Amino acid sequence: MKENLQSLHDEIAGILEKEIGAAGYDFACGKFEGLGWIDFHYKCSTHDGPFPRIALKIQKNAVHLYLMLWLEGQPPPLQRYVGLFGKSAIGAGCLRVKWLDDDRREAIAEIARLALRESGRQKSGR
């Protein structure tokens, strides 16, 4: 199972890297450790500084893709993918992925393009 999750993680990271135009970087904040892309400044009670708009981490039973993006007056962006990934696989800012097919790969690419566009950056990196 761990091997399968690692290869799934690597495949998702490859999709994100291709769409964003940069490799993910090691990111840690509190107990969270994973890969991150597209930094923005985030301030809360436990963090004040650069924070990834997209992060990826292997959890116990799935690979989690985190999206720190809120579009004013719209539902959380990941909600549009409920029909594809299932309601139980999607939180407000988290997508739990256990397997991929072409439609799911395209959805992840779309999420990366959305995060890049909403960050006001061109395809190139952090």
Task: Give the helix/strand (H/E) hosting 29.
Answer: strand 25-29
pLDDT (0 to 100) of residue 40: 83
Report the C-alpha gap between 51 and 27 in whole angstroms. Answer: 8
Give how many domains the chain has, as a whole number: 1
Residue 123 lies inside a defined structural domain of this protein: no
Residue 125 lies inside a defined structural domain of this protein: no
- Tokens at 38, concatenated: 């597209």
pLDDT (0 to 100) of residue 123: 59
Q: Which residues of the chain have pLDDT under 70?
A: 1-2, 71, 121-126
Residue 126 lies inside a defined structural domain of this protein: no
Please state the pTM of the whole predicted model.
0.87
* Each residue's pLDDT tens digit, 82-103: 999 999 999 989 999 999 999 9
Domain that holds residue 28: 2-118
* Neighbour-count burial of 84, counting CB atoms closer than 10 A to its CB (0-12 exposed, 13-18 middle, 19+ buried): middle
Report the C-alpha gap between 61 and 103 in whole angstroms. Answer: 21
